[in-house]
Amino acid sequence: MLDRAVQILSDLVDPPGSQEIEARVERVSRDVNAFGYDRWGFSPEAAKKIVRLAAWLYRRYFRVQAHGIKNVPAGRGVLVGNHSSQLAYDGMLVATAMLIDADPPRAVRAMIEKFFQHVPFANVLMARSGQLTGLPENCRRLLEQDELIMIFPEGARGSGKTYWHRYQLERFGTGFVRLALQTRSPIVPFGFIGGEEICPSFGNLAPLARLLGTPYAPLTPLLLPLPLPAKCAIYFGEPLRFAGTGDEEDHEIEGHVAEVEASVRRLVERGLSERKGIFFG
């Protein structure tokens, strides 16, 4: 049923360069078994259909502009940015940027919130496109395999923030720095602009969230967390490399986290200063 739904959606949109997009998916697919899946559940055939839709959203609906994408180095790495948009639209668009705008194309393994494991269709959809639950052991294994992963250290606090707190960074967790140190991986900060307007939330319906078992239940203009056509931009910064083993004292790790957070904040501020309009411009 999921494959059929994806097929219907992909048939509705046939973005220019579909063959090139499919070729890019093939280029980033590796360690696929005879059944068409890798060890994490990624399926190149399903990903081709999903990316066709994602590319249409990226190019036509959100009209994303990616700045500094060449700052992302080859090999293993950790993309770290500000979180927004209620339902991970930001993560989808960053991953799409790396696949269709980077040269060579890069597959991004986003570390998603645990509650997505229990969302019908979405859990399988994310697995087939290469996204995983954000467990430390998953991150470590992927980085040791020279994969590029994406982490939002604000977690649900960032994605679920209300419109009144847009572009204000929530406190960053520290685990991503320890993982980067343990695996000798560079951290690439990025600022995502437009996510706060894609799906603005004017409040959190806490009783409904408890009923659904989700971190939050946003009160949005359309009542459901459906995306508005805000124009988006992604600003990738210079990679940050820290020396250590990952077993350092908390205060040392927190110092590195503060440096990453400051880099993300500067990129967000730059993006906001350069933005000409929310839906146009």
CATH of domain 62-274: 3.40.1130.10
Alpha-carbon distance of 62 to 197, in angstroms, equals: 11
Give the distance between the most distant pair of CA atoms in the chain: 53
Does residue 135 sit in helix, strand or coil? coil
Q: Which of 43, 114, 69, 85 is nearest to 193 (CA)?
A: 85
Averaged over successive runs of 10 residues, the pLDDT of the chain (281 residues) comes to 58 67 93 90 91 93 97 97 89 96 95 72 80 86 96 87 91 96 98 94 78 75 83 98 95 97 98 93 71
Concatenate the DSSP letters of all residues of 67-104 into one string.
Answer: ESGGGS-SSSEEEEE---SSSSHHHHHHHHHHHHTSSS
Alpha-carbon distance of 209 to 136, in angstroms, equals: 26
Pairing status of strand 148-151 against strand 77-81:
parallel
Report pLDDT for 118: 67
Contact 170, 161 (CB under 8 A): yes
Contact 166, 57 (CB under 8 A): no
Omega prior to 229 cis, within 30 of 0? no
Alpha-carbon distance of 238 to 27, in angstroms, equals: 25
Report pLDDT for 112: 79
Q: Which residue has 């009783």 as its token pair? A: 207
Report pLDDT for 4: 59
Number of Cβ atoms within 10 Å of the Cβ of 265: 16
